[in-house]
Amino acid sequence: MSETVKYTDFIRNIIDKDLAEGKNEGRVHTRFPPEPNGYLHVGHAKSICLNFGIAEDYQAQNALCNLRFDDTNPEKESEEFAKAIQEDVKWLGFEWHGEVCNASDYFEDLYGFARQLIEKGLAYVDESPAEEIAKNRGNFQTPGTESPYRNRPATESLDLFERMRAGEFADGQMVLRGKIDMSHPNMLMRDPVLYRIKRMHHIKTGDKWCIYPMYDFTHCISDALEAITHSLCTLEFEVNRPLYDWVLDNLDIPARPYQYEFSRLNLAYTITSKRKLTQLVEEKLVDGWDDPRMPTISGMRRRGYTPASIRNFCKAVGISKVNSVTDMTLLEDNVRQDLDSTVERRMAVLDPIKVIITNYPEDKEEMLAGKNHPKNDEMGTRTLPFSRELYIDRADYRESANKKYKRLVKDGEVRLRNAYVIRANDVSLDESGEIKELYCTYDPDTLGKNPEGRKVRGVIHWVSAKHAKPASIRMYDRLFKVDNPGAMDNFLDALNENSYSELTAMVEASLAETEPETRFQFEREGYFTADRYDYSKDKLVFNRTVTLRNSWVD
């Protein structure tokens, strides 16, 4: 009996140590805290798998994971994004603890904690212009300059803060700042802004508030209010940790979460900057957030990636403290591996030419059987109509070829998958010299067995012309043609002009009886999925998920 190997990493090692020492009263509680200002991307998938995966791994300790929206910037947030995020998390196979949380649920608490800092002399209202505040912070070589409002009495700051909330002042007229250290080597600790005035309609609180807390003030308090034990962030938030600790250490709040950082997922030939992804959408360079070329979870879903393949990919990337770039082939190989064992096979002729079997009776039809999966008999079989006229792929016939070519050549033979051996005898051409029709004969004694006295090495796919259905096939490739488009002066210059094309194929009639998001291997062509939105039984639309093998050339 094989022993189950426990998946581990440095964060799980920290949790194990905390549990062994009785820290957090033996509790494990994580959270996934996206901003509802865009769709989730493959980088978020890593964080989802980590946070929710820990809750699953530590079920014996009743571990929990919250979904919390960091909704403190109403200017860019929407219900559309919030709903899409929830759907993505569920599609990946995870469930959050209780109801969805929102930072806005704690706005009253956050306001009270801000007052507490003012009363302790650790925060003040600053009326300096934003440009002056930024300028007076100094730089890494020069300490900052204290604001002239830094030492105003707490009672005065409390009064102004209350009036900020009441809407007495214009947007940007004043802010609340933490009173820490204007010469601190960490720039974020130089009296950071905690609250600003911003009159924007909020997706949850409407127009109740005209002041909104900043991320660094909100995030740590939200963690504490939810009794989070391990607050997991990507490495760029390492610089924020001293401020995270300062806020919690100076408030009268019972729970004390701790922040730990791990490397973000950087994927070659991809961008995960939300600003740049938004630009692609707004400039209509892609067909929305769920365009199958986008690195968004909804885009990968529409393309035909499976939840299991994305989870396995994230596990393969691993959790570390070292930033690196992951090769796109690792993601694609995980998709191939999952689809190879789980999806049924079908035949689809992407570039069809007609074959007429001259010695096959015109009025005859046969119903042949084809396995739905060559290695899994439990997936059953399907019926393949066979008739005098067929379609094969244009690339599967040549007038002449060397011995390495294992398909159909003039006066040569090839086997049709699940059917007979045919011989090519003649062709007819159209006005441009392209093959219009191919005339063949078949050997009626070769159904399910090899011909006597000769060896046929090649096997090609086909569909019956009489029974086949036309289908729109969307061929997707990598959106960018360089491995690090984000490093370019203009990332749009790296767009791959060949990332999308569409063709009309002839496919098995059974493909008109499937459902949206059903995945198949089109034999010898790749993996394809019925489009989530555009597929119907009257309009067959399939997206290429991934090729059968890596064919990308740098």
Task: Output the domain CATH number for residue 215.
Answer: 3.40.50.620
* Confidence (pLDDT) at 7: 73
Quote the pLDDT of residue 5. Answer: 53
> Considering its fold, how many domains does the chain have in total?
3
- Greater confidence (372 vs 401) lies with 372
What pLDDT is attached to residue 552?
Answer: 62
Give the pLDDT mean for 411-415.
96
In this structure, the answer to whether residues 397 and 482 fall within a common structural domain is no
If asked whether residues 228 and 279 sit together in one domain, one would say no
Supply the pLDDT for residue 367.
97
Burial class of residue 145 (count of CB atoms within 10 Å of its CB; 0-12, 13-18, 19+): middle
Closest to 194 (Cα-Cα) out of 208, 182, 180: 180
553, pLDDT greater than 60: no
Looking up residue 301, the CATH number of its domain turns out to be 2.40.240.10
Domain stops at, among 461, 479, 514: 461
Note whether 237 and 157 are same-domain residues.
Answer: yes
Q: What is the pTM of this model?
A: 0.94
On whether both 329 and 414 belong to a single domain, the answer is no
What is the chain's mean pLDDT, rounded? 96
Shared domain for 245 and 170, answered yes or no, is: yes
- Is the same domain home to 145 and 17? yes
Q: In Å, what is the CA distance from 332 to each residue of 290, 305, 460, 485?
A: 18, 9, 25, 19
Q: Domain check: are 418 and 509 in the same one?
A: no
| 208 and 243 both lie in a single domain | yes
Q: Does residue 305 lie within any of the structural domains?
A: yes
Do residue 330 and residue 194 come from a single domain?
no
Is residue 35 among the annotated active site residues?
A: yes
| 414 and 315 together in one domain | no
Average pLDDT score over residue span 505-523: 97
What's the pLDDT tens digit per position in 133-190? 999 999 999 999 999 999 999 999 999 999 999 999 999 999 999 999 999 999 999 9
Best CA proximity match to 49, nearest among 318, 355, 446, 377 = 318
79 is catalytic: no
Q: Is the dihedral of CA 42, 47, 49, 50 positive or negative?
A: positive
Q: How many CA atoms lie within 13 A of 218 on its CB side?
A: 22
Q: In this structure, are strands 421-429 and 389-393 parallel, antiparallel, or unpaired?
A: unpaired
522 in the same domain as 539: yes
Residue 488 falls within a domain, yes or no? yes
Q: What is the pLDDT of residue 457?
A: 83
Name the residue range of residue 303's domain.
274-344+471-546
Query: How large is the average pLDDT for residues 182-200?
Result: 97
Task: Provide the pLDDT for residue 403.
Answer: 86
Residue 225 lies in a domain: yes
- Decide if pLDDT at 433 tops 50: yes
Of the residues 461, 490, 518, which one is the last residue of a structural domain? 461
Residue 466 lies in a domain: no
Let me know the angle formed at the C-alpha of 459 by 517 and 377, rounded to the nearest 5 degrees.
50
261-279 mean pLDDT? 96
pLDDT by residue (tens digit) across 278-298?
A: 999 999 999 999 999 999 999
Q: Which member of 23, 256, 264, 406 is catalytic?
A: 264
The confidence score (pLDDT) of residue 302 equals 98
Percentage of residues in the chain with pLDDT exceeding 90?
Answer: 95
Q: Which of 27, 179, 196, 274 is catalytic?
A: 274
Residue 42's CB is within 10 A of a number of other CB atoms, namely 24
Pair 292, 223 in one domain = no
21 a catalytic residue = no
Of the residues 35, 332, 413, 525, which is catalytic?
A: 35
Residue 143 falls inside a structural domain: yes
Domain boundary among 262, 286, 320: 262
pLDDT of residue 2: 39
